[in-house]
Amino acid sequence: MTFRPATHADAEAIAEVIRAYDRAHGGEIETDADEVRDDWTAPGFELERDTLVAEDGGRLVGYAWTTRRRADGEVGLDVYVHPEARDPEVGDELFRRSEERASELNARLLVTGLLGDDTRGVDLLRRRGWAYARSLYRMAIDLDAPPPAPAWPEGVEPRPFRAGEEAVFHAAISEAFADDPTYEAGPLEAWAGERLGRAAFDPALWMLAVTGGRPVGAVLGFAPGAGGYVDLLGVVPAWRRRGLGRALLLASFAAFHARGRTHVSLHVDSDNTTGAPSLYAAAGMRETHRIDRWEKPAG
């Protein structure tokens, strides 16, 4: 078994490892090479220092990258092992080296995710001193027909992203998620650079809800692979429970459908207190799988 940093030429092989992991543990099989490369465009990301691949006889069987750096010292580790990997220690080694990289980044808290039925991964993390924190639920919908037209609250007008409006969307999302401790917008330049630089970025999939010239909600969609992904959907507190969240969601579905993206998904936190899971279910979305968040104090 050999370990080395990833290169751009590895993107498709890495995507296949991720798909194989998802296939083995009930996830959605949708990652492609463009999505892998998109991950590498995050501000401050260093391909040679923040990634690691494992090869067995020239075949790529494992992948890890250090990501999701927050100002409060939270650093994320994403680790994938092909279910056919012969060496049972490959995952442990990928985590060990990734934890070392996180220490170099002055991490305070390490976080990672496992699909809900990955019992082997659970055993590995427990041995390494990790603890379960909470879950994310992946929800999805298949748009076999155009979705219902959104009913916008009186006085609210929707409009798509316009060039140069990164700051407007950043401010709207920041206000909408101000009471969510799991979300950190961060500086505008980094926030916008991470999103607008993706191959999956399409301005028609970003929408702002405005009333009296003031943004009161926004939805940010991306088109990775052959599907659609709702990355962020937020409504400012004063406008919640007026139907605006549902209108933004249906408008997002319509934008995806118009582009031929008929399978749309998103993630929602198990600690969500805004009623988002019920909103998504009422719009026809179903839970496809669970992703468990695990944490470990750095040190």
Euclidean distance between CA atoms 47 and 9, whole angstroms: 12
Backbone dihedral region for residue 57 (phi beyond 0: left; psi -120 to 50: alpha; all else: beta): left
Spell out the per-residue pLDDT of the chain, length 299, in tens. Answer: 999 999 999 999 999 999 999 999 987 777 889 989 988 988 789 999 999 999 999 999 999 999 867 778 899 999 999 999 988 899 999 999 999 999 999 999 999 999 988 999 999 999 999 999 999 999 999 999 999 999 999 999 999 999 999 999 999 999 999 988 778 888 898 889 889 988 889 999 999 999 999 999 999 999 987 889 999 999 999 999 999 999 999 999 999 999 999 999 999 987 777 788 899 999 999 999 999 999 999 87
- State whether 265 and 174 are in the same domain: yes
- State whether 73 and 210 are in the same domain: no
Is 299 domain-assigned?
no
Prediction pTM value? 0.87
Q: What are the tokens at 4?
A: 């080395």
Domain final residue, candidates 87, 108, 129:
129
Of 225, 224, 266, nearest to 245 by C-alpha is 266
Distances (CA, A) of 264 to 12, 65, 209, 225, 228: 22, 26, 21, 11, 4
- State whether 149 and 237 are in the same domain: yes
Is 295 domain-assigned?
no
Residue 239 belongs to what domain range? 141-290
Q: First vs last Cα of the chain: how many Å apart?
A: 27
- State whether 148 and 121 are in the same domain: no
- State whether 282 and 146 are in the same domain: yes
Domain at 101, CATH number: 3.40.630.30
Domain count within the chain: 2
- State whether 119 and 220 are in the same domain: no
DSSP 61-82: EEEEEEE---TTSEEEEEEEE-
Of 53, 58, 123, nearest to 81 by C-alpha is 53
- State whether 121 and 236 are in the same domain: no
- State whether 160 and 214 are in the same domain: yes
Is 135 domain-assigned?
no
